[in-house]
Structure 1
Amino acid sequence: MNKQLIETLKAKEDKMIEIRRYLHQHPELSFQEEKTAQYIADFYKGKDVKVETNIGERGIKVTIDSGKPGKTLAIRADFDALPITEDTGLPFASVNKGVMHACGHDAHTAYMLVLAETLAEMKEVFTGKVVVIHQPAEEVPPGGAKGMIEAGVLDGVDNVLGVHVMSTMPVGKVFYKSGYVQTGRAFFKLKVIGKGGHGSSPHMANDAIVAGSYFVTALQTVISRRLNPFETGVVTIGSFDGKGQFNVIKDSIEIEGDVRGLTDDTKATIEREIKRLSKGLEEMYGVTCELEYNDDYPALYNDPEFTNYVAQTLKDASLDFEVKMCEPQPPSEDFAYYAKERPSAFIYTGAAPEDGEIYPHHHPKFNISEKSLLISAQAVGTVVLDYLKGVK
């Protein structure tokens, strides 16, 4: 039955590419994906599936029921774009100014639609159910996954499988890693309030810039002196707003920063230390600190048993691509919320363009090899059929 799936998907490869290019040309930002959500829902009209819309925000849940008892596997694809002006020169480049599919979610949706259509046509050969999760708003906290979970998208689901196409990984390969595989993320904003004054009389003021500068420097010791050397954590100051006049001591400044940790414990340590430094700054410099700390996404944990099952299934299937283990990935991903609820696996499809320079995700020139669509569909479809054959 897997041979039937593979051959059918190969015959539909052009359809995947056509869908991907349409979606690429018409991107929508997180929590604003009205037309994209409608496009997805319309695709399923007339197909032998159950479609539920507006799950959470604009999420769509599609259930493919074999009519036979068995397990339920959820497969997920996201469909939001980014506030980036495209600079690829592609003939199907974005027509929505300042919005671009610069992360590959157009590819995720395209392969998933065609795979779901094919699985619906083949449901007599498997048992149990497939739940297809079309998720909005992966890019912007709190993310679309959280709302869909709260709305019950995982009710009755045993495991969840997700795939991300990667422009920085070679095409023709699928990668996996069990355990913690992507960092969790947090964002903070610190306002340091001192006392303004004139540059000629600093003793009559309390310089917020000096206090804030110390905070930025001391913050780097959180990683070097508070984390175990074998832990992975990053703190980045992306904004220091202290602009004023050259001879005026500002009374307040604002600092914004990004936090990443490969485990939730690491993230918790960094959060505790940032709050401690903020309080210490008040004592040391006599300033007032207003700290806003937002814990965005948890670290993504791939269940070892399920992830190893996925990898072994793909290796045993002898498909037209390699299956290899990879290192953990630095970016964050709200698929982590599914993984907190059910044993899950998040894997990667190499999608580096064969020609030209390779650009990372979220870059104005980001592009992928469209061969990654068929590979993603084959990989996920192969796992679905094996998982639902009645023996796991």
Structure 2
Amino acid sequence: MRTIVETNLTEWAVAHRRHLHAYPELSGEEYQTCAYIRGVLEELGIEILDFQPPNLVGYLKGTDGHKTIALRADIDALPIDEEGDKPYLSTVPGVAHVCGHDGHTAILLAVAKWMAENRDAVKANILFLFQSSEEMSPSGAKALVEQGAIESADAVFGLHLMSALPKGKLGYSHGAMLASSDDFRITIKGQGGHGSSPHETVDPTYIAGHLLIGLQSIVSRKINPVEPAVISVGQVTAGSNYNIIPNEAVITGTIRTFSEETRQYIFREMKKLVEGMCLTFGGAGEVDYILGTPPLINDKNLGLFAEKVIREVYGDEVATKVEPVMGAEDFAFYALSKPSAYLLVGMGGAKSAFPHHHPEFDIDEEEIGTAIDLFLNLVKRFA
């Protein structure tokens, strides 16, 4: 399926990917990873721009220079003990590249290598965004946007090697692709006492039970049924013993939406519900929101452009329109600031049989070349 990339460039990328895989670093701690990337880029003659680590931004001036294109790779790993017997298994206990970010980093390094060696063929200016902290807050994408890293960009492209998409397929979208991701913490304050005398208490666990049902009414009865939204409770904590009614209960969970309007509406309705229900039963309630990533909405025109490139270069049978899912991606911050398109490179099959974030997850390295080629074709045709 490759049209530009030769086998030796893919092998070069795979070698770098395996090194990165063996030495993973968590979100916000990717300083050695940045040093490694910097060394490769400097050897290639790519300029390093002055942005706060552990983000790293490379720059290559195009022959024309009327347009600037940003290409993004996330570089962080996950707090998971890797399992399996691969020769490049993580050497860091409790940390592993089990999402594919090592592959994304190697892909962008290979794109930089090709461009450095074929400068006359690169018309647009290129920003190489090696981004920290996709997996955890605070977001590395948000930091780069706030620092002005993509201020000059006419377009931002990102991609993800995806085990949920069949190998040989390339996924695109013209709009909503991934949801917002926000956390909430509800604190219910009551008045504890002996379990045999509930009438002498204000039982926060009883109030929590009502809230667990009531929270779902926001989605089922307050939001238009055609508007996707999720409120999921992940943890309920209260008490220290079976016969003691506690003073406090805590509910934590996540909210997912595809529009900023729905996102803000849920915040308001949740606050009203919690405060009102707690007051009804004689307690008090507080809601804290931990804002995460906004919805990832591909720019319509850039999404159509990406689809056209995929169909014309790789064929209609390869092009796959992907439906929105409730997962989240901080690439959304680029899309809020500049025309952006996030794409998927399918690798589902025997070589990538485990889901992302599984201890035995691994990427299909054959698709690294496909991803390099896709980036290069997008740049070539956009310029």
Q: What's the TM-score once normalised by structure 1's chain length?
A: 0.93
Question: Hey, what does 2:93 align to over in structure 1?
Answer: 97
1:108-127 equivalences in 2 (<5 Å): 108-127=104-123
Question: Hey, what does 2:360 align to over in structure 1?
Answer: 365
The AA in structure 1 aligned to 2:178 is Q
Moved more, 281-290 or 166-175: 281-290
Q: In the alignment, is residue 380 of structure 1 matched against residue 375 of structure 2?
A: yes
Question: Hey, what does 2:46 align to over in structure 1?
Answer: 49
1:284-295 equivalences in 2 (<5 Å): 284-295=280-291
CA deviation map 1:184-221 (0-9, x unaligned):
01001111110010011111111010011111111111
The AA in structure 1 aligned to 2:40 is F
- Shift in Å at residue 89 of structure 1? 3.0
Q: In the alignment, is residue 131 of structure 1 matched against residue 127 of structure 2?
A: yes
- Shift in Å at residue 319 of structure 1? 6.7
Q: In the alignment, is residue 38 of structure 1 matched against residue 38 of structure 2?
A: no
The AA in structure 1 aligned to 2:19 is Y
For residues 89 and 205 of structure 1, the distance between their equivalents in structure 2, rounded to whole angstroms, comes to 56
Moved more, 193-202 or 364-373: 364-373
Q: 2:169, 2:345 within 8 Å by CA — same for their partners in 1?
A: yes
1:219-368 equivalences in 2 (<5 Å): 219-318=215-314, 322-355=318-351, 358-368=353-363
SS in 1 for 2:137: coil
1:169-208 equivalences in 2 (<5 Å): 169-208=165-204
The AA in structure 1 aligned to 2:31 is E
SS in 1 for 2:99: coil
For residues 67 and 198 of structure 2, the distance between their equivalents in structure 1, rounded to whole angstroms, comes to 70
- Shift in Å at residue 148 of structure 1? 0.9
The AA in structure 1 aligned to 2:227 is E
- Shift in Å at residue 355 of structure 1? 4.5
SS in 1 for 2:44: coil
The match for 1:20 among 13, 17, 20 is 17
Question: Percent same amino acid at aligned positions?
Answer: 32
Q: 1:264 to 1:281 in 2, by over 3 A?
A: same
Q: Let me know the Cα RMSD of the aligned residues.
A: 1.8
Q: In the alignment, is residue 29 of structure 1 matched against residue 29 of structure 2?
A: no
CA deviation map 1:171-195 (0-9, x unaligned):
1111011111100010011111100
Q: 1:311, 1:323 within 8 Å by CA — same for their partners in 2?
A: yes
- Shift in Å at residue 48 of structure 1? 2.9
Q: 1:72, 1:128 within 8 Å by CA — same for their partners in 2?
A: yes
SS in 2 for 1:133: strand
Structure 1 unmatched ranges of 5 or more: none
SS in 1 for 2:112: helix
- Shift in Å at residue 7 of structure 1? 4.4
For residues 111 and 68 of structure 1, the distance between their equivalents in structure 2, rounded to whole angstroms, comes to 24
Question: Hey, what does 1:77 align to over in structure 2?
Answer: 73
- Shift in Å at residue 6 of structure 1? 3.8
SS in 1 for 2:43: coil
- Shift in Å at residue 47 of structure 1? 2.1
Q: What's the TM-score once normalised by structure 2's chain length?
A: 0.96
Q: 1:175, 1:325 within 8 Å by CA — same for their partners in 2?
A: yes
Q: In the alignment, is residue 152 of structure 1 matched against residue 148 of structure 2?
A: yes
- Shift in Å at residue 17 of structure 1? 1.2
Structure 2 unmatched ranges of 5 or more: none
SS in 2 for 1:168: strand
Q: 1:9, 1:378 within 8 Å by CA — same for their partners in 2?
A: no
CA deviation map 1:104-131 (0-9, x unaligned):
1011001110111101221212323011
For residues 45 and 20 of structure 2, the distance between their equivalents in structure 1, rounded to whole angstroms, comes to 24
Q: 1:166, 1:349 within 8 Å by CA — same for their partners in 2?
A: yes
- Shift in Å at residue 321 of structure 1? 7.9
For residues 4 and 67 of structure 2, the distance between their equivalents in structure 1, rounded to whole angstroms, comes to 25
The AA in structure 2 aligned to 1:35 is Q
- Shift in Å at residue 320 of structure 1? 11
Q: 1:167 to 1:318 in 2, by over 3 A?
A: closer
The AA in structure 1 aligned to 2:180 is G
The AA in structure 2 aligned to 1:368 is I
The AA in structure 1 aligned to 2:362 is N
For residues 38 and 122 of structure 1, the distance between their equivalents in structure 2, rounded to whole angstroms, comes to 25
Q: 2:33, 2:75 within 8 Å by CA — same for their partners in 1?
A: yes
